[in-house]
Chain A
């Protein structure tokens, strides 16, 4: 449209992310001076509306923060409330929770790999466009996603907002026969996940890596899914209950999602790259050897290669699901009693996109006095902006359309869930001299 590549550029809503947001890059004399992930998803005030609700309600209410990772919200909520009430659930409940969580990792990672991220590498607008040329690939993806959803349905009743999770455990323990019946499909899925690793490992990746500080949970059960300690690749190792002492949230004008900082100033990364880079040694052999064959080292600092790491975690989740089904003992009773206590509790689990922190202060009558929720995408906003600054800075000479697509891709690397973090992505590359459009004015006119 224009021959002046660094005047204002505007594309419609950033696609293939969960939720909606915008992107703005400011350049001065050919240098990126500012890169912002604008999040203008209308806030829904979950932390406010939890006040006065019963302490048993957060698993159902906070699940509604995200349709893609509801189990993450349910699990962090349960752990935090059980922590406040001083209850430890039996091992069988924890194992069943981990199994349910495997279903969510499978469903969410497949969604991102096949429908949101891979089309970028192959030059398609969507997974549906990809399917026109390669129907067998998308069919493999959809069958894999269904395997994850099916696991969630057997344990939770449905994959979006499962109904069977409660504080203390489950309403009903799934019948072992129903779980064993999934084993065949999960064995197929494990092989399809290995094929997925090979498929994505052959994509072209930009030479780009960052010196990230990774943050992930430490999970006594193995590769981190749920745990009570938070650790970083630069030496942080704290109990989850000390989270607020080390991590601070910050409100910025261009986002309805709060930003997070470590130790008052450090930007850090959560999610598959962080889990893998800190815990690749704890993967099962099948996933570990797939990672090696795909050319991953013990750590991975190229965010574009996160698609390979997600595929490796997909192998892990299938394998782990099979292992847990093999040794499944129905928790009996399916849940333990959790009497309310006037106390504060803390819960951290690894959502598919990274660590998700919940904190609840409960009153003696069992109502919630206050709640705090820190989703992975909020924590990753600063990293996404830093990635964009560095990535775009070296590529400002690219044709505008190509730069736009690659910047979108740099955001999608981190699988941002904007619904979680609070929604519109609208990329603007703005030269400081150029006038800025009124905030939020873009999408309405470009979408209809």
Chain B
């Protein structure tokens, strides 16, 4: 039996979903498969038309909704994302790689790394930088996180199906943390925490494990990073610590990038 024969008749009327991967760890698209209780309902409401990690079947575009994971790191991918954009009515980037360049954007701040990993770097065709999808094509919505949160992903897909704006808030982890009733790790234990400048969405996971937030969801709306850095200094952090704290998975996000630069220039002194 061919796939076409197995496709239900009403399948053609459903909106189509495509999932695309660029430089990434697969964790954000895995989050879709991790919606164990909702996956079959999602597949009932939307036609999974192109999801290479999950299916051999590829339905031709254009696609109604494209979820894009990963960052742009090669000349080929810089071209491919344009084709994906052209084939997509609504394009949502998912995860820190796609929204900020990911952990691989650390290369943007250092010398060429290929010789450190590969004996013959000439075989490797990459760009000097790792950049967000929005740096290359217009993006309709950015879903943050390293990884994204399952509930937020379902909210984005539901909102798309209902034709409304996704309810994803831009406030800090602190709001989530207070609501969950966690003890503030910075006030109570003096543990440096990025929660005050990081966007909510994870459920304030790290403070619930007595750990300071390490910034997986990137900068909140209007973050006061300078004030947080000052507080971190009082807690004993040096310039190197601040640079490393702001330069992880969202190193390429503007507010974090700029705050790291402030301390990077100050830190000419070797540790």
Contact = CB atoms under 8 A, between A and B. Distances in A.
A367 interface: yes
Given A128-B55, A145-B36, A158-B147, 12 more contacts: A19-B21, A43-B124, A67-B28, A115-B54, A142-B36, A143-B36, A256-B118, A370-B116, A444-B79, A444-B83, A447-B20, A447-B58
B116 A45 contact: yes
A91 B84 CA distance: 50
Interface residues of A, number: 82
Contacts of B54: 15-16, 115-116, 126-128
A159 B150 CA distance: 11
A16 B110 CA distance: 35
Interface stretch (B158-166, B172-180, B207-215, B227-235): B207-215
B167 interface: no
Interface of A: 12-20, 41-49, 51-54, 57, 60-61, 64-68, 70, 111, 115-116, 119, 123-129, 131-132, 135, 138-139, 142-143, 145-146, 149, 157-161, 163-164, 166, 170-172, 251, 253, 256, 258, 365, 367, 370, 405, 408, 417, 419, 423, 440, 443-448
Contacts of B24: 67, 419
A446 B54 CA distance: 17
A447 B61 CA distance: 9
B22 interface: yes
Most chain-B Cβ atoms within 10 A of its Cβ — which of A116, A163, A258? A163
A145 B34 contact: yes
B52 A67 contact: no
B31 A160 contact: yes
Contacts of B84: 447-448
Interface stretch (B101-109, B135-143, B252-260): B101-109
B209 A64 contact: no
Nearest to B51: A126
A248 to B, nearest CB: 11
Contacts of B226: none
The 9 lowest CB-CB distance pairs between A and B, nearest first, are A67-B27, A48-B113, A126-B55, A125-B57, A48-B116, A448-B83, A45-B113, A44-B104, A160-B147
B118 A444 contact: no
Contacts, number: 223
Given A47-B116, A143-B36, A444 B107 contact: no
A64 B113 contact: no
Interface in B11-31: 20-31
Nearest to A20: B21
Most chain-A Cβ atoms within 10 A of its Cβ — which of B3, B30, B124, B130? B30
Interface in B42-59: 43, 48, 50-58
B266 interface: no
A67 B25 contact: yes
A126 to B, nearest CB: 3
Interface residues of B, number: 77
A231 to B, nearest CB: 28
Given A16-B55, A251-B119, A444-B83, A419 B126 contact: no
B58 A142 contact: no
Contacts of B30: 67-68, 111, 160
Nearest to A128: B43
B77 A161 contact: no
Contact of B80 (A132, A138, A157, A443): A443
Contacts of A12: 52, 58
A16 B37 CA distance: 21
B123 A251 contact: yes
B147 A149 contact: no
A45 B108 CA distance: 12
Nearest to B75: A440
B92 interface: no
A49 B27 contact: no
B168 interface: no
Most chain-B Cβ atoms within 10 A of its Cβ — which of A18, A45, A128, A163? A45
Nearest to B8: A132
B134 interface: no
Given A126-B57, A164-B211, A171-B210, A15 B104 contact: no
A440 B79 CA distance: 12
A119 B3 CA distance: 12
A382 B26 CA distance: 23
A440 B76 contact: yes
B222 interface: no
B55 A19 contact: no
A138 B40 contact: yes
B154 interface: no
Contacts of B8: 132
Nearest to B191: A171
A14 B58 CA distance: 11
Contacts of B130: 44
Nearest to A65: B25
B107 to A, nearest CB: 6
Contacts of A419: 24-26
Contact of A66 (B27, B76, B83): B27
A57 B244 contact: yes
A170 B80 CA distance: 41
A64 B31 CA distance: 14
A47 B104 CA distance: 11
Contacts of A160: 27-28, 30-31, 34, 147
